Chain A
Amino acid sequence: MALTGRLGLLALLGAVVPIVWPSWWTLAALWGVLLAAVALDLALAGNVRALRLHREGDTSVRLGGTARVSLIVENTGRRRVRGVLRDVWPPSAAAGPRTVRLDVPAGERRRVETTLVPTRRGDRQSVTVTIRSRGPLGLAARQLSRRAPWTVRVLPAFPSRRHLPGKLAKLRELTGQQVALIRGQGTEFDSLREYVDGDDVRSIDWRATARRRDVVVRTWRPERDRRIYLVLDTGRTSAGRVGDIPRLDCSMDAALLLGALASRAGDRVDLLAYDRRVRARVEGASRTDLLPAMVRAMAPLEPELIESDAAGMVSTLMSRVRQRCLVVLLTELNAAAIEEGLLPLLPRLTARHLVMVAAVADPRVEEMAAARGDLAAVYDAAAAERARAERRRLTAELRGYGVEVVDAPPAEIAPALADAYLALKAAGRL
């Protein structure tokens, strides 16, 4: 039940009545009339329980985009339902409009549109739908909250997808460059063609030449169907904000670009999000389904404020993949976490796989390192210099284990990772 402003106004205007007839009876009569009107209104208001709620609309939206969700209100009762409706969503769903006027005659249905502009990644669930059904006099209303479940999954924004065409062009260049006459570990036989001047004589296929009149050379191309395993570290180091977004979101962006690129290049891409247990996993997705699957898996991921368990991560990885693959570990070059967690396990991992570590550097540290002028700035610079030295040392240490390291600020990490992948591919090291 809810009262309306009209009742308050009437009560206010009614204050004049006892001045004209000063008696307790006047007041009693006044309130008797008002309360009777309220009771009548409540009795005649449309029944909220008789409403049926259905939903339809978007189930997912990219972060920064707009999702539309419709609520269909069907009145199965005998009386018209008139009043207001509020579709209640969590604040970060930024749902609008807040309240909607509702007028559903008996036996009819109405559609209520809600627009969501989510401000954060993850699943946004409708909390409830509150309906206030006003009586014919407009003095009182019946109010009830009804469940009308709906979930909108807010997907990562993937801002680095603008880099994809450029990287794909590079990739085509690479695969078109089948004249890569050097035979490497990650290359496979492509075709035979006639010898032209300038070709390496070592690549002449003598057996084929013997069968034909011309001299024939073999060509090679980067091997396809290699396996790439993306590992997202969702532990405490992923929670730190670089600029204004969590490091995890930058890592996701880079992983998405790499995944899109690698799947176009014909490689198989798997994803694992891990801190102390598996948070998300995408395995064996087809080429066309890979990106949607990755995005769906990443959407609900949140940084956990716990130290990542590198040993668990490595053993999970080892048990999942038998064949040689490129393991891309998206984490942070944090001395404590890497030295105590990952480094002792690296030999096991590198023995079987090619490992690449991608870390998002904080531009704030660069900014501090360049600071000069007063004493505070110089101390800032010294601290930043020390942090950078630490990073360089870790990078060198990791490279010593044969690990590729990509360390770039958030704006560049995605293209830098893609470039590193393309370089590996070109070198036939996959």
Chain B
Amino acid sequence: MTSTLTPGAPQTAGAPQTAGAPSAGEGAEPTAGQVARRRWRASRGVVAVVLALVVIAVILAALRPESSWQNLDPQSASPGGSRALAEILRQRGTPVAVSRSAGDAAERATATSVTVITRSERLTDSDIDRLRRIPGDLVLVAPSRRVLTGLAPGVQVASSSFEDTDAPDCTLQAAVLAGNVDFGQSDTYEVPPGATACYRVEGLPRLVQVRLDGARTVTVLGSSRPFTNEYLDDEGNAALAMNLAGARASVVWLIPDLPDPGSASGDRTLGDLVPFGVKLFFLQLVLAVVAVAVWRARRLGPVVAEALPVVVRSAETVEGRARLYRAHHARDRAADALRAGARDRLVPLLGLPRSAAQDPNAAREIVTAVAQRVRAAGAGAPPGAAQTGTFSTGPDGRLLYDEATIGAALYGPEPADDAGLVWLSDVLDDLERQVRQS
């Protein structure tokens, strides 16, 4: 296989050399590699910034606590749900009422109930107001800052911790009984004086109990993990959750639905919410853009118009004629032109007067003369090679024409088809070359 390809080998070997030569030259077109390197140098800063942004986004997304709409739902059996806890509470004789709105929870709450408030980020300000007035104890599971300030006065989010297990280290009965608890990621709090603080990390507690009006207690838990199905059986999680939620006669479990759009605080538009200073900031930005536009819009001097020269290619008429010939398949005219041109060039070679070229009476003479010269050129060709309308190949590989073919080429009728015209042009070229060489 390879041996049959060897004739082509020098060509392929030569190709890289010729292709490589221009690239070696000074000031030549840059190679693809050079272009790529230049573009890389120009854009690597942007690429680095984009990559850094992607990495940061991925890290943030990974660190963000996973949250699903089912989390802490006492009717959900998913890992993040709290059905297990609710079932255990019911089995232990503590009824659990599930509320989906703050109003409903406020109605159900009694002086002997514990209201567990989960997913508190969904509560609106008016909900928080209403919850502040309900009787009984409150347990806030991983509350938002708004809820914290509204319902547990004096308790503030201090930081967050990732330490899992810890001893309670406090006097709160529920915590002491539960012992070690797995918190996972948890908020830590700053506590007011007089509050009970448990499970400290670096001095900041993750469980806080505040006493309000003497009798009511508000318990704040920094992590929702002890309440979830998945982690309920870890360490003392179940005990802590049951001690906190089941401390009284009944449980009202508030897991608020998302508030209806616009239901919260009515008809405040975006404009009302944006501070006046920010509006002025944007107005000033617009004015600054106008100032920049005025700066850029002012030209340094006029635009200069100039009459441009006419650009007409001189060969346009000839090219147009060629296209017309082609569009109309004007083989007759094209063949006439080619033949006349060939005769014009042949006649001086044959030693005939120039006027003979376009003289129909000289046709015979020209054809005979051409045939003689062609035969002389193809010396050694058998005279019998002359066949009507065809031509054969001489011993040296060149085409041999008989008089009839030469006559047809120089004076014949219009070619029957396009292939005939192309053939005619080739034959005329060949005749001319052979006559020149003879």
- Which residues in A have some Cβ–Cβ distance to B below 8 Å? 2-5, 7-8, 11-12, 14-24, 26-27, 30-31, 84, 86, 88-92, 99, 120, 127-130, 132, 143, 145, 239-242, 246-247, 302-303, 305, 332, 362, 364-365, 368-369, 372, 374-376, 378-389, 392
Contact digits for B287-325, partner A, Cβ 8 Å, 1 yes 0 no:
111011011001011101010011111111111011101
A382 and B291 form a contact (CB under 8 A):
no
One of A120, A239, A380 near B322 (C-beta < 8 A): A380
A8 and B295 in contact, given A14-B284, A20-B277, A241-B312 (Cβ under 8 angstroms): yes
> Is the CB–CB distance between A3 and B291 below 8 Å?
yes
Assuming the A-B contacts A12-B288, A15-B288, A145-B301, are A379 and B310 also in contact, with contact meaning beta carbons closer than 8 angstroms in the complex? no
Known A5-B292, A127-B304, A389-B341; contact A382-B312, beta-carbon cutoff 8 A: no
Q: Which residue of B lies closest to A24 (CB)?
A: B280
A99–B321 alpha-carbon span in the complex (Å): 50
- Is A132 touching B421 in the complex (CB atoms < 8 A)? no
B323 partner residues in chain A, CB cutoff 8 A: 379
The A/B interface has a contact count, at CB < 8 Å, of 177
Q: Could you tell me which residues of chain B, from 380 to 438, have a CB within 8 Å of some CB in chain A?
A: 418, 421-422, 425-426, 429
Q: Give the residues in chain B near A368, CB-CB below 8 Å.
A: 315, 318-319, 322
Question: Are the CB atoms of A383 and B277 closer together than 8 Å?
Answer: no
Contact across chains for A145 and B425 when beta carbons are under 8 A apart: no
Cβ contact of B335, chosen from A88, A369, A382, A388, cutoff 8 A: A382
B40 within 8 Å of A (CB atoms): no
- Given A3-B298, A389-B340, list of 7 further CB < 8 A pairs? A3-B294, A8-B295, A240-B316, A379-B334, A385-B340, A386-B333, A387-B318
- Binding site of A, secondary structure by majority: helix, strand, loop or mixed? helix
Most buried by A among B275, B302, B341: B341
Q: Please name 22 pairs of A and B residues whose Cβ atoms are closer than 8 Å in the assembled complex, sorted by A.
A: A2-B295, A8-B291, A11-B291, A15-B288, A17-B284, A18-B277, A18-B281, A21-B277, A26-B280, A27-B280, A86-B301, A90-B304, A128-B302, A130-B301, A364-B315, A368-B319, A375-B421, A378-B338, A379-B326, A382-B337, A383-B337, A384-B322
* Pairwise interchain contact B337-A386, C-beta atoms closer than 8 A: yes
Q: A362-B315, A383-B322 are in contact. Are A27 and B284 (CB under 8 A)?
A: yes
* Chain B residue at minimal CB-CB distance from A303: B310
From B275, B319, B334, residue with most partner A Cβ within 10 Å: B334
| CB pair B314 A362 closer than 8 Å | yes
Residues B421 and A378 in contact, CB atoms below 8 Å apart: yes
A-B residue pairs, 9 tightest by C-beta: A22-B277, A240-B314, A130-B301, A18-B280, A382-B334, A8-B292, A11-B288, A383-B322, A385-B341
Q: Which of B278, B310, B318, B334 meets A378, CB within 8 Å?
A: B334
In the bound complex, residues from chain A placing their C-beta under 8 Å from that of B340 are 385-386, 389
CB distance from B432 to the nearest CB of A (A): 12
Docked complex: B332-366 residues within 8 A CB-CB of A: 333-335, 337-338, 340-341, 344
Chain A residue contacts of B341, Cβ below 8 A:
369, 385-386, 388-389
- Asked if B36 lies at the interface with its beta carbon under 8 angstroms from chain A, I say no
Taking the closest CB of chain A, its distance from the CB of B341, in whole angstroms, is: 4
User: Hey, which chain B residues are within 8 Å of A8, CB to CB?
Assistant: 288-289, 291-292, 295
**Known contacts A239-B312, A382-B333; A15/B284 CB under 8 A:** yes
